[in-house]
Structure 1
Amino acid sequence: MTVQAYKVTKKYETFSYLPQMTPDQVRRQIAYAISQGWNPAVEHTEKGAAATSNFWYMWKLPLFGEQSVDAVLAELDACHREFPDHVVRFLAYDNYTQSQGTAFVVYR
């Protein structure tokens, strides 16, 4: 019987326990959030211990009413270009429940 070593890696969101999403999968998740009427937003934070805390920096204001997946992807890319050493995540706010509908890391 072989014992497998467990690698400790940072887990930021629920999707962190799955293999890294492909660009198409990220696009489909964003499209789903928009189709639900949720407001997209982009956040970033430093890598390391700060990324597991509750504080993330907001990149601009939420994209209220945004219907274009490409516009959201462009904001994610712009944030990543501005802060290449930061963790960047997508999130979407649900107006009805007044909470986050979804959140996941796009750039680690």
Structure 2
Amino acid sequence: MADASAYPETKTRTETFSYLPPMSPERMAQQIAYCISRGWNPAIEYTEPEKSFSNFWYLWKLPFFGTQSVELVLNELEACHRANPGMHVRFIAYDNYAQSQGMAFVVYRA
């Protein structure tokens, strides 16, 4: 039955985008720009790889309420990755209207 899997389990999957090829920096910037254009608030979280399926990830700083700068978010993602080597780092966009996450994806994998 193991050969029937559509996706070989060579690495742990953490979210929907992890089943796709890795995003280029340009594509990642487009995803972040889309979230900002929708009025969603970007945030950054990180956690240990063994806890990646937990509901609790550590918040990096506060969410960037009202930011219009994709570059700021990309710089903070990089800063979080440098400060927390060996951890997963993910981008999250909070939707104020629906009061939920509008998008989330892992940017750096340990």
TM > 0.5: yes
The letter of the residue matching 2:92 is: L
Q: Secondary structure at the match of 2:32?
A: helix
The letter of the residue matching 1:26 is: M
Deviation at 1:35, TM superposition (A): 0.3
* Partner residue in 1 for 2:25: 23
* Partner residue in 1 for 2:74: 73
Distance 1:102 1:39 in 2: 10
Which of 14, 18, 43 in structure 2 is aligned with 1:41? 43
Distance 2:78 2:67 in 1: 16
Give the 4+ runs in structure 1 shifted more than 2 A: 3-8
- Give me the TM-score of the superposition, normalised by structure 2: 0.90
- List runs of 5+ in structure 2 lacking aligned partners: none
Distance 1:53 1:4 in 2: 28
Deviation at 1:4, TM superposition (A): 8.4
* Partner residue in 2 for 1:32: 34
Deviation at 1:52, TM superposition (A): 1.3
Percent of aligned positions that are identical: 61
Q: Secondary structure at the match of 1:63?
A: coil
Q: Which aligned pairs between 1:1-108 and structure 2 lie closer than 5 A? A: 6-48=8-50, 50-108=51-109
Distance 2:107 2:29 in 1: 10
How many residue pairs get matched?
Answer: 105
Q: CA RMSD in A?
A: 1.4
Deviation at 1:54, TM superposition (A): 1.0
- List runs of 5+ in structure 1 lacking aligned partners: none
- Give me the TM-score of the superposition, normalised by structure 1: 0.92
1:35-75 residue CA offsets vs partner (Å, 9 max, x unmatched): 00000000000012x01111100000000001000000011
